[in-house]
Amino acid sequence: MEASILIVSRNRKRELEKTLGILECYINKDCHEIRVFLDGCSDGSEELEKQFPSVYWYNSKMVLGASVARSILYEKAIGKFLFGFDDDAHPLQRDFIKMTSDLFKKNKNLGIISFREIKGVFKNDEEIPEDMLTEREDYFSNEFLGCGFAMKKQVYDKTRGFPVWIDIYGEEVCLAWETLIKGYSIMISNHIMVNHRVDQQKRKTSGAGYFRFGKQLKNTTFFYLVYYPFPLLIKKILRLWYHNFSKYALRDRKFLKEYFLALGQTAGNFKRILKFRRPVTKKELLKIKTLKNPGY
C-alpha cells in the first residue's frame, strides 16, 4: 500500500462528507486507502459509512480527543506514506500523493512534509483568489501544520507517535520534535496546497477562542514538562502562565475562567505527565530553535 489517508472527525458530518467525496475522486483504491476515526460523534456522522463503504471506519462513543484518536488511527495505517487531513480540509492538487512521493524520494532524510494552508470557504477551488496561490519557496521548519501533511510511516514508527497525554491542540509540535530528535527533517511545501475550509469570522463569534485558549495553555505546559530540560522548563512555564494571565485572563472573565480551569487540570495531571518525560539535550534544543517556524 503506497498511501494511507487518515482523518479524525468529531461532529462535522457535512465537512467530512465533502472531504471524503473529493479524496475519493483523487485516489487509486488499489494502492491508496482512507481511514476515518469518529471521535464521540453525536451528529449522525456514522451514517457516512454506508455512503463511503471503501473507507475504513473506527468509532468511539466516548470523546477521546484528537491526539489520542490520531494515535490509535495512525497505528492501524499500512501505507508507506501517512497523509493527515482535518475533516474540513482537502488537497488542491489531484496528484498530491505523487507530488509528495517525489519530494520524499528527492530528500532521503525528510520525515514530514507540511502542505501550504489556504484558509477560507469557497464555492469551488477555482474561486480561490490567485494572490493566495502565488509561488513561494519550500523551506525546512521545526513544526508542521496538522490540517494537511504527510509523513513516512517508517519515521512515524520510530517516534512515540501522537501523544496520548494531550487531548487537542499542541499534538503536532510533539510529533515534530520526536521526528527532529530522531534525525529527520520537516519541510514546508508551498507547492502542495490544502484548502482549510475555515470560516474565521464564524469561529470568532462562536466562542471557540476561549476553548482553544484553555486547551493550549494546559497542553503547552505539558509539552514543556515532557520535552524541556531542567531548569529551563521552570522559566518557560512561569513565563507562559504570567503572559496569559496579564494579557488575557485579566481583561476578560471568560478567559479568566478558562485560565483557572486549565490551572486545575494541569495540577491534577502533573504526576501523570511526568511519566512521559523525555527531555531533549541542549544540542538538540539548539538545533530545533535554529530552524524556521512555519508561517501559520
| CATH no. for 3-198 | 3.90.550.10
Three-state DSSP class for residue 60: strand
Domain boundaries of the chain, sorted by first residue: 3-198, 205-290
* pTM reported for the whole predicted model: 0.95
Three-state DSSP class for residue 100: helix
Residue with cell 483504491: 29
For residue 200, the model assigns a pLDDT of: 72
Select from 24, 150, 176 the least CA-distant residue to 83.
150
Distance CA 46, CA 64 (A): 16
Distance CA 293, CA 296 (A): 9
Distance CA 240, CA 152 (A): 33
pLDDT in tens, the chain (296 residues): 999 999 999 999 999 999 999 999 999 999 999 999 999 999 999 999 999 999 999 999 999 999 999 999 999 999 999 999 999 999 999 999 999 999 999 999 999 999 999 999 999 999 999 999 998 999 999 999 999 999 999 999 999 999 999 999 999 999 999 999 999 999 999 999 999 999 876 766 566 789 999 999 999 999 999 999 999 999 999 999 999 999 999 999 999 999 999 999 999 999 999 999 999 999 999 999 999 998 75
pLDDT tens, residue by residue, 16-74: 999 999 999 999 999 999 999 999 999 999 999 999 999 999 999 999 999 999 999 99
